[in-house]
Structure 1
Amino acid sequence: MKNVLILNDFVSKGKIAARLMAPVLSYMDCEVFLLPTAMIANNFSLGGNAFYNIDPFIKESLQNWENLGIKFDLIFIGYIENSKQKDMIKDFIKNLDYKPTIVFDPIMGDDGALYPGLDESKIKSYKDLVAIADIIIPNKTEANFLDLDLESLTKKGKKIIITSANKDDKPAVIYYDGKENIIPYKKENINVGGSGDLFDGLFIAYLLKSFDYIQAIDKTCKDIVRIILANDKDNPGASEINIEKYLSLIEG
């Protein structure tokens, strides 16, 4: 069983972010260490919100696990609340005496715009985290905000996976590893939150099961379509995925 550390926001109302990733990874035989980077009352799309400063808990948890000798096979970095957290996480990773795989999804926007309440400081912090990541998974909007130098990054051995992309006017995930790899998928006309988080969880699990990148992406996309269709059939117009109900649809 692989140890996976999820550094991502915990949303009390909404099956998104860490609340969606954790059950997927657990179902796929990973030991999940969930460390919230933000305690958020609900997803941003609802408008009003409430936040809790979690920074001391992050610092103490990372130190505690280090003292206990716990090692992670993979560390996932998602939403980061502030530059202090960013520096804390960077320092933790740089000081490890072993090399876990670092996966970074720079969660900050979609459809050409930043999420409400986010600003240029988020972009600056996320650009800094690109340097420590092995695998970077932005959607098309986030990739544009980060202004990723694909050639330079892949020459350093980094893998870039751009989700919600298009190739020849067809939906695709584009994977860069020194060359451009196109993984097409069937896009359903269903608007549901958390599909990016579901991609992260499934892709990580398949990667840890030793599938290659293209296989892992393809299997992830097919699983997402099955899950979203089943969720919409049972709950037409639902704004989120009742993921626990559909874990058995994961191909595994």
Structure 2
Amino acid sequence: MKNVLILNDFVSKGKIAARLMAPVLSYMDCEVFLLPTAMIANNFSLGGNAFFNIDPFIKESLKNWAKLNIKFDLIFIGYIEDKNQKEMIKDFIKNLDYKPTIVFDPIMGDDGELYQGLDESKIANYKDLLEVADIIIPNETEAKFLDLDIKNLTSQSKKIIITSQSTGGKPCVTYNDGRENVIPYEKIDLKVGGTGDLFDGLFIGYFLKNIEIKKAIEKTTHDIGKILLANEREYPGANEINIEKFLNLIEV
């Protein structure tokens, strides 16, 4: 069983972010350490919200796990609240005496815009975190905000996976490790929150089973399609995924 540390926001109302990733990774035989980077009342799309910064708990948790000699096979970085939190997480990773895989999804926007309630300070923080990442998974919007220099990043042996793209009018994911791979998938015309988080969880689960990255992406997009269709059949018009009910559709 692989140890996975999820550094991501915890949303009390809404099956997105860490609340969606954790059950997927647990089902895929990972020991999940869930460390919220922020406590958020609900999905940003609902409008009003409440936030609680949790930096002291992050700091003490990381310190405690180090004392217990707990080591992580993979660390996932998602939503980051501010510069101080970014620096704390970056310092933690750079001072480890072992080398886990660092997967980074710079969660900040979609459909060409930043998510409601976020500002451009997020972009600067996320750009800085590119330094410690091994695998970077933005959607097309986030990749544009970050102005990714793919050639430079891949020359440092970093892997770039960009989701929600299209080629020739057809949806695809691009994977670049120095050479671009285009991975097409069948788009399902549903507006459901958390699909990016589902991608992260599934991809990490397959990656940790030593499945080659391109194949892991293919399996991930295939599973997402099955889960979205099953969710729509069971809960017509739902705006989130009742993931626990459909874990058995994952091809582990």
TM-score normalised to the size of structure 1?
1.00
Q: Give the Cα separation in 2 of the matches to 1:174 and 1:92.
A: 30
**Quick one: which amino acid aligns to residue 216 of structure 1?**
A
Larger mean Cα displacement after TM superposition, 138-147 or 112-121: 112-121
Q: Give the Cα separation in 2 of the matches to 1:206 and 1:197.
A: 14
**Quick one: which amino acid aligns to residue 136 of structure 1?**
I
**Does 1:191 find its partner at 2:191?**
yes
What 5-or-longer segments of structure 2 have no aligned partner? none
Shift of 1:144: 0.1
Q: Give the Cα separation in 1 of the matches to 2:43 and 2:220.
A: 24
Shift of 1:168: 1.3
Q: Give the Cα separation in 1 of the matches to 2:54 and 2:21.
A: 19
Q: Deviations over 1:85-129 (max 9, x none)?
A: 100000000000000000000000000000011111000000000
Q: Give the Cα separation in 2 of the matches to 1:110 and 1:182.
A: 20
**Quick one: which amino acid aligns to residue 192 of structure 1?**
V
**Quick one: which amino acid aligns to residue 196 of structure 1?**
G
**Quick one: which amino acid aligns to residue 184 of structure 1?**
P
Q: Give the equivalent residue in structure 1 for 2:6.
A: 6
What 5-or-longer segments of structure 1 have no aligned partner? none
Q: Give the Cα separation in 2 of the matches to 1:39 and 1:29.
A: 26
Q: Give the Cα separation in 1 of the matches to 2:176 and 2:209.
A: 21
How do 1:50-69 residues align onto structure 2 when only pairs under 5 Å count? Answer: 50-69=50-69
Q: Give the Cα separation in 1 of the matches to 2:15 and 2:226.
A: 17
Q: Give the equivalent residue in structure 2 for 1:249.
A: 249
Shift of 1:41: 0.4
Q: Give the equivalent residue in structure 1 for 2:18.
A: 18
**Quick one: which amino acid aligns to residue 101 of structure 2?**
T
Q: Give the equivalent residue in structure 1 for 2:120.
A: 120
Structure 2 residue matching 1:79: 3-state secondary structure? coil
Shift of 1:169: 1.1
Q: Give the equivalent residue in structure 2 for 1:79.
A: 79
Q: Deviations over 1:65-89 (max 9, x none)?
A: 0111000000000000011110000
Shift of 1:28: 0.3
Shift of 1:167: 1.0
Q: Give the equivalent residue in structure 2 for 1:213.
A: 213
Shift of 1:53: 1.6
Q: Give the equivalent residue in structure 2 for 1:102.
A: 102
Q: Give the equivalent residue in structure 2 for 1:166.
A: 166
Q: Give the equivalent residue in structure 2 for 1:222.
A: 222
Q: Give the equivalent residue in structure 2 for 1:38.
A: 38
Task: Give aligned-pair identity as a percent.
Answer: 75
Q: Give the Cα separation in 1 of the matches to 2:168 and 2:180.
A: 14
